Structure 1
Amino acid sequence: MLGLVLGDHCAGCARPGGRLCPDCARALGSRARVCRRRPGCPPVWTAGGYCGLERTVLLAFKERSARGLAAPLGARLAGAVAAAARHRDVLLVPVPARPAALRRRGYDPVLLLARAAARRCGIARLPRAPVLAHRRRVSDQVGLGRDRRRANLTGALAVRDPAGLAGRRVVVVDDVVTTGATLAEAARALRSAGAVVAGGAVLAERG
């Protein structure tokens, strides 16, 4: 565990030699594909599935403080961002971490992924200040079914500065899409502020 946190063991196979060894990096790949449609979601693109090596590496980044994985994972996400954006000068809008999760981890994984993806793809950028914020408390989505996820998130997100988004093309970024409730709520909040939601980009599609 200490080796993984310090970045001297591969998050995928646990062999010495860096945060992600060349074999695991090649196995992850970076070919973006469109996700199946989900109610209320814009078209969403993903860098891969949520199983096996992809799931192992993502969990190391999110739950075991392996922040150094933001660069290689962000490089994978960049392909999905480019596919979703389709045009230059697009704003990337990360789904904000719940305050409790942010306190527990000490960092926002999706924000780090979006920063790395923006640097890599070159056609989208992050705004200087966070765009979305939680306006009420929500429960952890893990273990909730589709209807309960949607009820948990409906009306939970708001745009901090609506005036700055009118007419802007945006791509919503998250780490994993399951039922699509989170992305649908983010898209709703952005559209209510006048933004044009071009699509969504995620690192992994579950199910």
Structure 2
Amino acid sequence: MVGVEGVRRWWQELTGLVLPAECGGCGRARTVLCPACRAALGGTAPRRVRPLPEPPGLPAVHAAARYADEVRAVLLAHKERGALALARPLGAALAGAVWVGLGWGEGEGPPPPGHVLLVPVPSAPQAVRARGHDPARRIALAAAGELRRAGASVRVAAVLRQRRVVADQSGLNSRQRLENLVGALTVVPGGARVLCGGSVVLVDDLVTTGASLAEAARAVRAAVAAEWRAAGDVMWTERDEGAAAVYGGVTREGRGVRRSGAREGGAGRVPAGPVGVAAGGDVVCAAVVAAPPDSFEINRN
């Protein structure tokens, strides 16, 4: 027979599994994320960030927070320590970066019409097995929920996969990371058709050198280019190791593309209709939760 003390210990263990033991950022007891750490994560407006050096083919990237102190602790707690309850506040921060990156302003008024696809950069299969979850995908799902509640038409399209084993990125410099990842990602069969159903935003929890996002952009561009070439809708040229759209005069009915200029601080308005390209002619933009502080300070044309 279990005594009162045994029941109390059992209940404490059970609640420890359900409720957070401490804040993911500072360690304050019994809270998913304390107000101070929540403010550090999402208290400032998302901004355009640029790694230095900037890898070829990197799309416009917007980040919600600087990767330091409490924000770094929160991301590591979610990714490496399985603090899955942090996915929701991380998703809210990512949603803000997506919103600004698409040129929807600071959140005032309803979002423009058009479908948006959040495409998470996948973790290596062995990392997913070790962690028990894919952090970028989980955060992307939380961000999609936030954006839908704000009135946007958004869904997650987890169509990227690694097609070869890559080395651990930690300890590699920017050039080594680019070489390690080149050609590593591909779009799953049938994924290109999905990507042509909306404006594509690559999402991840963190950008450092930009190598992962650049490779993801290359894979998406190649898949979308092949899909549009097969449909006879678009001509493509190669530039900066990524495909750039050069639109022809032939389009399928209902699939015409209205070009709109990109601007600093946003990728421009999303074109109306399911065209599969971001405004300004690029097939993708990107949004992340966090970026190194020095990448926020770089503001070059």
TM-score normalised to structure 2 length: 0.64
Aligned to 2:108: none
Q: Give ranges in structure 1 of 5+ residues lacking alignment.
A: none
Matched, 1:50 2:136: no
What's the CA shift string for 1:75-122, capped at 9, x where partnerless? 111110112233541100000110110010000000011011111123
Matched, 1:15 2:28: yes
TM-score normalised to structure 1 length: 0.91
Residues of 1 paired with 2:117 and 2:124: CA distance? 21
Residues of 2 paired with 1:55 and 1:16: CA distance? 18
Matched, 1:203 2:220: no
Q: Structure 1's 5 and 35: CA in aligned 2 closer, same or farther, altered over 3 A?
A: farther
SS in 2 for 1:56: helix
1:168 CA displacement: 3.6
SS in 2 for 1:27: helix
Residues of 2 paired with 1:92 and 1:13: CA distance? 30
Q: In structure 2, give the amino acid aligned to 1:201.
A: A
Aligned to 1:144: 172
Q: How many residues align?
A: 205
* Root mean square deviation, CA, Å: 2.0
Aligned to 1:116: 142
Q: Is the 8 A contact 2:117 2:195 kept in 1?
A: no
Aligned to 1:101: 127
Matched, 1:31 2:39: no
Residues of 2 paired with 1:111 and 1:173: CA distance? 8
1:30 CA displacement: 4.6
Identical pairs, percent: 51
Deviates more, 1:117-126 or 1:63-72: 117-126
Q: How does 1:118-197 map to 2 (within 5 A)?
A: 118-122=144-148, 123=152, 125-127=154-156, 130-160=158-188, 161=190, 162-166=192-196, 168-194=198-224, 195-196=276-277, 197=283
